[in-house]
Chain A
Amino acid sequence: MTTGYHPLVKRLLDGELSLAELPPELRAEGEEALRLAGAADRAPVALSPALEERVMATVRRHAASPGNRAWRWLNTPRDVELRLRVRPWTVWAGALAAAAALALLLGRPAPEPVPGAQARGDMRDSVLVRFVLYAPGAHRVAVAGTFNQWDRAAAPLVPAGTSGVWTTTLALPAGQHQYAFVVDGARWVVDPGAPAVNDGFGRRNSIVAVTAPGAHL
C-alpha cells in the first residue's frame, strides 16, 4: 500500500519549494515525486491537416441552412441612421416628456416591454424595452446582449439623479434576447429583476422576451 506524498513534497511538485529546501529525510521522496512530474509529456500534439477543411465544410453548410440564416439575420445588429428635422423647442419639450415618463417607470426593476410604444417607420416591428439597474458607486453601466452583439459600448445606461439607479430604453425586435449589464466596463452583472439562464459556458445571462406589438406577455 503506497501512502500519499508528504505535504512538503506536494509543495515541491507545485513549484513552491526546491529539492534542496526539503528536509534530508524527504529528499528521496521528493526525487521520486519529481520523476512522476517529469514524466508529463509536453510535446505538441498535431491534429490531422484535414481538420480545418472538415470544420469549414460543416460551418459553410450550417451558415447556408435557412434556419441559421434566419437566426443570424434576426440576431445581427445593424446600424440604422435616422435623420430628423425638428425645431429646438420641440427637442426640449420631448426631453421633458421623456424625463417625466422615465420618472414614472423607475419603480420597476426588471426590463419590461412597453406596450404600444413601438417606434414608427423602420422600427415598426420593434418594442421599446427599458433596462434598469441599481448600481450605487458605479461610474459606468451599459447593457450588452444578443441584440447588440455583446458590445459593451453600444448601449450605455444613464444615471437617474444620484439615487444609484441607471437606466436606458432600447428598441428591440420581437423574440427572446439574452443580456447582462456591464459595470465600469469590466464587471458582468445579471439583471436581478429578470430570469436568467446558464449560457452553457459557466456564466449566467438574463433573459427578456419581447412579443410582437399588440400581443400580451
Chain B
Amino acid sequence: MGVLLGLEGEATDAEVVRAVLAGDVERYAVLVRRYRDRYARYASRMLGSRDVAEDAVQDALVRAFDRLADCREPDKFAGWLFLILRNRCFAERRRRRRIERPLDSTDEMFAAPDRPDGAYEQVERAHALERALQHLTPEQREVFVLKHMEGLAYEEIAGVTGATVASLKMRMHRAYDRLRELMKEHL
C-alpha cells in the first residue's frame, strides 16, 4: 500500500491524465484526491457556502473527466481544472442571482467563541468580511479571494484568469473601497 501511495505521489498529472485516457478510469481518483481540497477554499469563498462549494468542486471534477480528451496540456491539468471550477462558480453566482437573493449562508463557516481577549472581535470581523464579499461583483470578489486568501501575486492571478495586471488592480481597488463601506461598523 505504501508503494502504491508512493507511486501516486510521484505520478505527474500528465501521466495520470494519459493513463485515464488510455482506459484506466480508476487512476482518476489520484487527481480527485490531489485537487479536491486545494480548490475548496477558493470555491467556498467565491460561493459563500461550503455545501455549494462542494457541489461545485464535484461538478468540476466530473466535467474535467468528461472533457479530459480536450485537455491540451496534460501537464497543466491543475490550471485547466481551475478554469473549469472558476466557470462553474461564476455560473452558479449568475444562476443564484436570477432565482433568489445572493448567498448569505456564511454562518456555517464560522464559530463565534465567547472570549474577552479580542478573538471574538476578530471572528466577527472575519464574518463581516465574508458577508461583504458576497456583495462585490464576482470579478472583484475573485481577485480579493485569490490575492488575500489564496496568497497569489497579481501576476499569478493574471496567469490563471487571463486578465491583465492593470485591470486586476483596478478591480481590487474598487473592491477595497466597497469593502470599506460595507464593513465600516467592524473596522
Q: Which residues of A contact B (CB under 8 A)?
A: 2, 4-5, 7, 10, 13-14, 32-33, 35-37, 39-48, 51-52, 54-56, 58-60, 62-63, 68, 71-72, 75-76, 144, 146, 149-150, 152, 178, 180, 188, 199-203
The distance in angstroms between the C-alpha atoms of A32 and B185, with both chains bound, is: 11
Check A36 against B179 for contact (C-beta < 8 Å). Answer: yes
Verify B40–A33 contact, CB threshold 8 A. no
User: How many residues in B have their beta carbons less than 8 Å from beta carbons of A?
Assistant: 64
In the complex, A180→B73 CA distance in Å? 12
Task: List residues of chain B with CB within 8 A of the CB of A146.
Answer: 69-70
Q: Kindly list chain A residues whose C-beta atoms are within 8 Å of the C-beta of B70.
A: 146, 150, 178, 199
A202 contacts across to B, CB distance below 8 A: 83, 162
Check B114 for interface membership: any CB of A closer than 8 A: no
| Distance in angstroms between the alpha carbons of A202 and B187 in the assembled complex | 38
**B180 touches A (CB below 8 Å):** yes
Q: Which residues of B contact A (CB under 8 A)?
A: 18, 21-23, 25-26, 28-29, 32-33, 36-37, 40-41, 43-45, 50, 53-54, 57-58, 61-62, 65-67, 69-74, 80, 83-84, 87, 109-110, 122, 125-126, 128-130, 144, 147-149, 151, 154, 162, 169, 172-173, 176-177, 179-181, 183-184, 186-187
Do B149 and A62 have beta carbons less than 8 Å apart?
no
Residues of A within 8 A of B74 (CB): 149-150
Supply 12 A–B pairs (Cβ within 8 Å), ascending by A: A2-B181, A36-B176, A45-B109, A46-B37, A47-B37, A51-B58, A55-B61, A59-B28, A62-B66, A76-B69, A150-B74, A201-B87
Q: Measured between alpha carbons, how far is A68 from B66 in the docked complex, in Å?
A: 8
Contact B40 A45 (CB under 8 A): yes
List the count of A-B residue pairs having beta carbons below 8 Å apart. 147
- The CA-CA distance from A119 to B2 in the complex, in Å, is 49
Hey, which chain A residues are within 8 Å of B147, CB to CB? 14
Query: B183 to nearest A CB, angstroms?
Result: 6
Residue of A39, A71, A188, A203 with most chain B CB atoms under a 10 A cut-off: A39
Interface of B is mostly: helix
Inter-chain contact A45/B69, CB cutoff 8 Å: no
A4-B176 contact given A46-B37, A76-B69, A150-B72, CB 8 Å threshold: yes
Q: Is the CB of A5 within 8 A of B126?
A: no
Chain A residues whose C-beta falls within 8 Å of the C-beta of B71 in the assembled complex: 150
A39 touches B125 (CB 8 A): yes
Interface contact A52-B32, CB-CB below 8 Å: yes
Taking each of B36, B45, B74, B154, which has the highest tally of chain A beta carbons within 10 Å of its own beta carbon? Answer: B36
Please, how many angstroms separate the alpha-carbon atoms of A88 and B75 in the complex? 41
